[in-house]
Structure 1
């Protein structure tokens, strides 16, 4: 059984999908907090690919240009150097930039980026 077990007022119940069902029994559904990517040296929130690419270039990342597979053109990719396997893959359109992409950047640049709750 997948879901979240909730104990309230002496009763335990299983909430199958906490994103669409009320966890606390009030009828209101918990909202997921929107996340933002922050560049730590300047405490700047990244809001477009131009700003992000500028920061990545300063950190030694280079755009990965491969003229091969058509699927690659659906992504923006950056690599550290030819001697490492580090690769950052992002959706081509910033509107599709999700929290998982932010964490992918943070893992490879721990001292430069952080994911925070949006204000």
Structure 2
């Protein structure tokens, strides 16, 4: 059974496609529908493609892992962590961004797309 359980207005229901318009306000986790971006904090660069993400992860010692037809996966030899993202960047969602943030402490950050970039401290 696929889908996500959503609690809204005192009612719990299962949503098949949490990215659809019908569920966008409920599925964002209170984000208010604002678009989010993943930012490489040291450089202030917005991750706008998998090429940027892979370059930044390689700098941190992450390597591409396996060749799954649906996923891009990265791992570090020194940890058990595995970062998995959909091969299609248009399906790169907030949950994937936070997964990267958690596994690369203080290197990436999720921000509102409209928020101005903060220049790194020198």
TM-score by length of 1: 0.70
User: How far apart are the structure 1 equivalents of 2:102 and 2:24?
Assistant: 28
Report the number of matched residues: 94
Gaps of 5+ in 1: 6-13, 21-29, 67-71
Structure 2: distance between partners of 1:3 and 1:50: 38
Structure 1 outlier segments of 4+, above 4 Å:
none
Match of 1:65 in 2: 66
Partner secondary structure for residue 69 of structure 2: helix
- Whole-angstrom distance in 2 between the partners of 1:59 and 1:18: 34
Q: Which residue of 2 aligns with 1:3?
A: 8
Tell me the SS of whatever aligns to 2:37: strand
- 2:44 is equivalent to residue 43 of structure 1: yes
Give secondary structure in 1 for the equivalent of 2:66: coil
Name which one, 1 or 2, has greater alpha-carbon Rg.
1
- Residues 84-106 of structure 1 show CA distances to partners (whole Å, capped at 9, x for unaligned) of 31100000011110011000000
In structure 1, what is the equivalent of residue 86 of structure 2?
91
CA shift, 1:31, in A, is 4.6
Change (3 A) 1:18 1:73: closer
Report Cα offsets for 1:61-91 as digits up to 9, x if no partner.
Answer: 000025xxxxx3200000011x531100000
Q: What displacement does 1:18 show?
A: 8.8
Q: 1:4, 1:18 within 8 Å by CA — same for their partners in 2?
A: no
Q: TM-score, normalised by structure 2?
A: 0.68
Runs (5+) with no aligned partner, structure 2 = 1-6, 14-22, 115-122
